[in-house]
A and B are shown apart, each in its own frame.
Chain A
Amino acid sequence: MSTLVKVQEVFKSFENVHAVNGVSLEIEEGQFYSLLGPSGCGKTTLLRLIAGFELPTKGGISIDGISMDGIEPNRRPTNMVFQNYAIFPHLNVEENVSYGLRNKGIPKSEHSKLVDEALDLVGLAGYNKRSSNALSGGQKQRVALARALILKPKVLLLDEPLSALDKKLREQMQSELRHLQRAVGITFILVTHDQQEALTMSDKIAVMFDGRVAQEASPRELYELPNSQKVASFIGEMNFVNGKISNDGQEVHVQTEIIDTLKISKGRVFGNSAKNNLILGIRPEKISIHPSRSKIDGALGGKILDVSYSGETTHYNVQYSTDAKSLTVSIQNAIGQQIYSVGDDVYLQFDKENFIAFRE
């Protein structure tokens, strides 16, 4: 796979606000790529820079080896699905979908065939003459997709396309988008603030904070090996515990309140501070709860502070020290799983392989 979109040291400022602050990315052809971050992190600005609606203050963007410097949005090999879909209200579905064909110089005789194909692709076959005002949110979304895909762009840009849909429809569209991307093979760049959405749909994710890329990785790597505390707490949930380094070698040995000596491989230690203290992180589902200490070695005693049930899983907040420090534990509500209630004395067992450490 070759690099399709190359973003090199791009900066973008609006008056005094540095929206994008030195971003470099290489997006491979055929990838489903997500820009993930909280609102105001510069992800939408980056997308608009790629589309050509904004011009970089510094740096360059190239697509398929061609520099996009000075190339207007209407001349770029990109198409965009807007957050509010931007369906032309004065045109019907067919006219919306065929809008760009004329500009591409495609003869009129082929339009209706292409429109039918595009509508079929997004599951709106037969909607040709429907007024765009009579469409539901999900249908507008599909028209916006068809309108962009009919032009066979090299890159399809999606600006929070699912944020306006209700949860059920959003989940359905997530899997449809994923299938659609595989079917057409076009590179998708998705902007989202929803980490769940990014994890389920993407081949690769760039997490952005304050105009910079904090980490670029596959969904699994991002979740299992976040490279900073900030990324770790943005993607899913993580427990953080203070630790002291006792041996800084091939394996880092850490003394903590929850485990006497923990050995962590170098590959799971991030950050390069020289300080003796570090922060350990462990995901709530990598901890298990037991009613008694028997047959567990090195278990940590505690008391259930809070229980929150959420269907598939139950979250327990377990206090483990006298000064009210607690850990969150997530337990699958599988068959035979014991249920605990507030005030129960319990023992926690850690999946020691799953600790990561941040030296920040």
Chain B
Amino acid sequence: MIKLSKLLKVFAITYLMFLYAPALLLPIFSFNSSQIISFPLSGFTTNWFRELMYQETLHEALRNSLIVAVSSSIFATTLGTLASRSTSRYNFPGKQVSLTFILAPLVLPEIIIGVSLLIVLIQLGLPLNLWSVVLGHTLLIMPFSILIMNSAFSNLDISLEEASLDLGENQFGTFRRVILPLVYPGVMASLLLGFTLSLDEFIIAFFLTGTETTLPVYIWSLFRFPKLLPTTMALGTILLCVSLILISLSEYFRRRAAKSNTSVL
């Protein structure tokens, strides 16, 4: 038995290394003074980060990405909260079917979502711009939002809502004064996770973006210029850090949502 557990430990460590070692190369090369991405490292520099400050198109892509990420995470969280609230609290015909369809993007390849949305938008004669990307990302984020909100709502004791009604509050007031404050950590987790997902999403953005590119699409276009590769590494490092911070925050809120109202009973 001891042997087996040791073997499993080795396996787990190897697995984690394969998973994260490539990501660790980003920060290493972003501080390397050579333009060529290869070992051995030639020296330490922060030039690549400095260069980022002067790239106009990069700033524009960043601005676009922020617009898309903020909008789509807000849309997805709002819709996800409502969908999750209705499916966790009420029974109605077609509930399971509609829920399955809303959750489908979790398992659908993004390329299929991207291509099919593109066809639909073109058929409808709608222009491709940042808002079409927002649409695609909202679709992509909503399943995550619903899953997070489902766990927040399932921890919500129904008698708390009844108590609020019983004390003279109406449905809307009950939602605002009792339900929302209690599922608020879930809302925060959903917003943060949605923001992160949208910020580094490439495939859907690539298909649906018009002339305004988002950050991942911009980074992809940089690969045609090997000279710019180290700056891309620097940019990637920043994105990696931001993503890690956002995901940790989101996880923190998700855990709070999961235990906030169970402790009182």
Which A positions have Cβ atoms within 8 angstroms of B? 51, 53, 72-75, 78-80, 82-84, 86-90, 99-100, 103-104, 132-133, 147-148, 151
Q: Is B21 an interface residue (CB 8 A)?
A: no
B178 contacts A79, C-beta separation under 8 Å: no
Using known A-B contacts A103-B173, A132-B264, A133-B263, determine if residue A88 contacts B163 with beta carbons closer than 8 Å: yes
Measured CA separation A148–B164 after assembly (Å): 11
Additional A-B contact list (18), CB under 8 Å, known A51-B166, A87-B264, A90-B182:
A53-B166, A74-B165, A74-B168, A74-B170, A79-B167, A82-B162, A86-B159, A86-B162, A88-B163, A88-B164, A99-B164, A99-B167, A100-B167, A100-B168, A103-B168, A104-B168, A147-B167, A148-B166
The answer for the CA separation of A55 and B163 in the assembled complex, in Å, is: 17
Q: Which of B157, B166, B170 has a CB less than 8 Å from the CB of A80?
A: B166
Q: Which residues does chain B contribute within 8 Å of A72, judged by CB atoms?
A: 165, 170
Question: When chains A and B are docked, how far (Å) is the Cα of A90 from the Cα of B180?
Answer: 11
User: Chain B's nearest CB lies how many Å from the CB of A230?
Assistant: 31
**Is B260 located at the chain interface by the 8 A CB criterion?**
yes
**B51 is an interface residue with CB less than 8 A from chain A:** no
| Chain B contacts for A90, CB-based, 8 A | 178, 181-182, 260
Complex Cα distance, B163 from A51, in Å, reads 11
Question: In whole angstroms, what is the CA distance A74 to B173 when docked?
Answer: 11
Whole-angstrom distance between the alpha carbons of A168 and B165 in the complex? Answer: 32
Q: Which residues of B contact A (CB under 8 A)?
A: 157, 159-160, 162-170, 173, 177-178, 181-182, 260-261, 263-265
Q: How far is the CB of A52 from chain B (nearest CB, A)?
A: 8
> Smallest Cβ distance from B162 to chain A, in angstroms?
6
Q: How far is the CA of A73 from the CA of B169 in the complex (A)?
A: 9
B230 CB → nearest A CB, Å: 49
Complex CA–CA separation, A243 to B157 (angstroms):
53
A73 lies within 8 A of B261 (CB) = no
Chain A residues whose C-beta falls within 8 Å of the C-beta of B167 in the assembled complex: 74, 79, 99-100, 103, 147-148, 151
Q: Which residue of A lies closest to B261 (CB)?
A: A89
CA distance A88 to B177 in the complex (A): 10
Contacts of A80 in B (CB 8 A): 162-163, 166
A82 touching B163 in the complex, CB below 8 Å, given contacts A87-B264, A89-B264, A100-B168? yes
B165 touches A86 (CB 8 A): no
- A89–B75 alpha-carbon span in the complex (Å): 28
A86:B263 contact, CB within 8 angstroms: no
Residue contact B169 to A74, C-beta cutoff 8 Å: yes
- The 8 A-B residue pairs whose C-beta atoms are closest, nearest first, are A103-B168, A100-B167, A89-B264, A86-B163, A86-B159, A73-B165, A90-B181, A82-B159
Would A88 and B166 count as touching, CB distance under 8 A?
Answer: no
Residues of A within 8 A of B162 (CB): 53, 73, 80, 82, 86
CB-CB < 8 A to B178: which residues of A? 88, 90
**A83 CA to B263 CA, complexed, in Å:** 16
CB-nearest residue of chain A to B158:
A86
